[in-house]
Chain A
Amino acid sequence: MSRRFVVLAATLMLIVSACGGTGTSGTTTAPAATTAPVAVATTAAPTAAPPCTVGVSWNNYQEERWAKWDEPAIKAAIAAGGGKYISNDAKSSAETQASNVDNLISQGAKVVIVLAQDGTAIKPSVAKAIQNGVAVIAYDRLIEDPKALYITFDNVLVGKLEAQSVFAAKASGNYVIIKGNKADANADFLRGGYDQVIKAAVTSGAIKIVGETYTDNWDPAKAQTEMEQFLTANSNKVDAVLSENDGMAGGVVAALTAQGLAGKVPVSGQDGDKAALNRIALGTQTVDVWKDSRALGKSAGEAAMQLCKNSDITKVTGTAPFTTPGGNTVSSILLQPDPITSANLKDVLDAGWITKADLCQGVAAGKNASCN
């Protein structure tokens, strides 16, 4: 009986995996690209009539954000410019992504938008594409190639905006800083942004940093434990908390609530999580720096349509030179994030990012104008 069961289960699994494998965004992965990409470029060039094809290489389409917010915005911008959208998914594998980029080019892509799984491992594929006259856009994550256009939100600015709101609420006293994953460069970009605001006050002694730590995996539960320990060590004398994202801010607020301090101590965050926006309406979180993925997608789609006509990345509107941590100067478009506080909660409602029911759950009448 047991053997039969195993065979049955194995067959079922094969069927399931075969069905699940095909459909991310309607484009199937073509059989291995043996033809040189050069051939495609030359055949596509002479006639201007067919629409310009833009290929997107996702690193992990499984994550909610890409399918829900980014892809529709990119698609819409490309459609508006009269282009054609194709895509594939690397399923979190740097190797797969390298062949996926080749694949998009052999399917006729003139511009490739890459959400890099690994910004270093993808470099050879990107260099090859650029040599073949295909323009490359590094989407959201940096690729260390001076000829690739880098489009992202300004992460240092995100940190700066978080710190500004908290600093405005509490310009002196004991600060706690809850940072994200130590292996993630963004954690240090954000910390750099904090310094732009609080460094002077720290040096003068007005602000004392009584606790600062990295948090593995940006884990909210770990952040809660860290906050509890910092509160214990300082006998609750904590005046402000800089938390690098919303998830961890949730842990921090839970720890503050246990001490009856929630709403009395300013707390920062970013990402526009529904729960965090609700906390802002409730008054337990001070600021949520919101990066509208739709703006990022739109910007990338529009840039791609411009690159179809002229592949010089410095000619795309809105670009500025950006010096990377690796010392390269790349042409980049850095989008401005929006700090959301109790004063401008209306913005996220108007943008359709969150429903009023989610935003205002548990908020007492008259507490926030956006909930009335």
Chain B
Amino acid sequence: MSGPPIPNAPTAEGRPAGSIASVFGPIGAALAPVRRTLSYLEVDTRLLGMVLALAVIWVSFDLVSGGTFLSPRNLWNLSVQSSSIAIMATGMVLVIVSRGIDLSVGSMLGFLGYTMAMTQAVWIPQALGLGFDRPYTWIIAVVVGVALGAVIGGLQGFVIAYGGVPSFIVTLGGLLVWRGLIFRYAQGQTIAPLDQNFQMLGGGTVGTRVGALGEWASWILGAVICVAIVYTLITGRRRRRRYGFPNRPLWAEAMLGLAGCAVALGVMWVANSYPLPINVALQYGQEHGITPPPGGLIIPTGLAFPVVIMLGVTVVMTFIASRRRFGRYVYAIGGNPEAAALAGINVRRTLMLTFSLMGALVALSAAVQTARLDAAVTNLGVQNELDVISAAVIGGTSFAGGIGTIPGAILGAVVMQSLRSGMVLLLVDSPTQDIVVGIVLVAAVGLDTALRRRTT
């Protein structure tokens, strides 16, 4: 999808932090102190804008729904519902940044989900005669899925990069082929139930086991994230000093560290505020010989496994995108493929790997979705490609190439899912939901493009 370069589109991310508000004249003057603070903090203002937009959406839904939307339970559900799209969106960012597109992710998700379901519900227990619910089953299923995903994605990437066929066409073909293959070898059948350990990956409940970290592990993870943020700030400071770059003032560093820790621990606090459903808790109490206190047995659920997977993927993908040679190559290719090739970057190999990585991420999402549904169905993942692309684009990824961030895409996925599940909560019918989401998509990208043009 390497369209003609758009004259106004910037080719590098840059740091619009200081200049973005200046175009607003009087408003800009009034916001001067905020602007100065932000420039010290070196925060990506576009990301900050998205967080604010999300906050507006959340608070409005909460007011209209009479406090249900921001309840721990709904936020917990929302986090699980968003994670599968978010995982794929991180890969889609790199694909779009390198001026490609992947339309096959929905069909591929269905195909990989089916393969994983067959592995654990048919091949291992029946064909190999090893029986159901073995402790290793889920690991084999996931490994098979991720490996196959990487191979399938790599195959598409090979045809795109080495065959010279546009990614739009190759993945459009993939959209048809993978869906067709599901019908071929599944013969329209639903595969269920799945392995009990595997189901944990979807954040579901089996008996009294819930696919979540539980109270203490959640707090510990929150603390670990907090320490990691502080560590990154400290090493970053040291590195800047070594290369003679200016450092942020100390108070700015402290503010960033505190804000990061507050978010990490806040998320865990919300996850732990959602107690196990009464029926599950009662059964848990009976099994563990706990007599429920008068107020009912309250056991914190903790962060759901799909969200843990999503966080892991985010960290790894952000690291790859910003700290590894591969990631820098992807952005360089997106910025200017010819220049990248002349600079000695193996463009074809990089593009192929991008699609391969996308395939592996699709497999992870497929694991989450099938596990959550506790079934593989033939229309699993239908139209997911639209949600994933929308999430990446709402998150600030540009079709002109070279621009896009992983955290932005995650936020984009959360925005999309917040709109959808919020509207279901308010009993908005599905045609209206489609209309709203469609308008928001166009409006978000339109606004983003307008702001970008004014700042460059």
Question: Residues of A with Cβ closer than 8 Å to B?
Answer: 1-2, 5-6, 9, 62-65, 68, 182, 211-221, 224-226, 228-230, 232-233, 236, 246-247, 250-251, 254, 257-261, 264, 273-276, 278, 361-362
Contacts and interface: CB of A to CB of B under 8 A. Distances in A.
Nearest to B188: A64
Interface in B219-267: none
Contact of A232 (B68, B165, B372, B383): B68
B189 A274 contact: yes
Interface string B425-451: 101011100000000000000000000
By size class, the interface of chain B is 35 or more
Nearest to A210: B427
B159 A9 contact: yes
Contacts of A247: 190, 377, 379
B192 A250 contact: yes
5 contacts: A229-B74, A236-B277, A260-B205, A260-B283, A362-B193
A260 B77 contact: no
Contacts of B425: 229, 232-233
B174 to A, nearest CB: 14
B187 interface: yes
A246 B81 CA distance: 21
B159 A62 contact: no
A220 to B, nearest CB: 5
Contacts of B405: none
B34 interface: no
A217 B107 CA distance: 14
A63 B73 CA distance: 40
A247 B420 CA distance: 21
A213 B180 CA distance: 29
A264 B279 contact: yes
B85 to A, nearest CB: 11
Contact of B77 (A182, A232, A246): A232
B431 A182 contact: yes
Contacts of A259: 205, 277, 279-280
Given A232-B68, A250-B375, 12 more contacts: A2-B162, A64-B183, A64-B188, A213-B429, A217-B379, A218-B379, A220-B375, A225-B424, A229-B421, A250-B373, A260-B278, A362-B193
A215 B430 contact: yes
Interface in B266-284: 277-283
Given A214-B429, A229-B424, A261-B279, A68 B187 contact: yes
Contacts of A212: 427
Given A258-B205, A260-B279, A251 B373 contact: yes
A273 B281 CA distance: 32
Contact of B427 (A65, A211, A236, A264): A211
Nearest to A282: B193
B188 A65 contact: yes
A220 B383 contact: no
A258 B304 CA distance: 12
Given A213-B430, A257-B205, A5 B277 contact: no
Contacts of B193: 275, 278, 361-362
Contact of B373 (A220, A246, A260, A276): A220
Contact of B383 (A2, A217, A254, A257): A217
A214 B430 contact: yes
A214 B431 CA distance: 9
B164 A250 contact: no
Contacts of A361: 132, 193
Most buried by B among A225, A232, A251, A274: A232
Interface in B360-400: 369, 372-375, 377, 379-383
Contacts of A219: 379, 382
A62 B183 contact: yes
B455 interface: no
Contact of A278 (B192, B206, B382): B192
Contact of A224 (B65, B372, B420): B372
Contacts of A2: 162-164
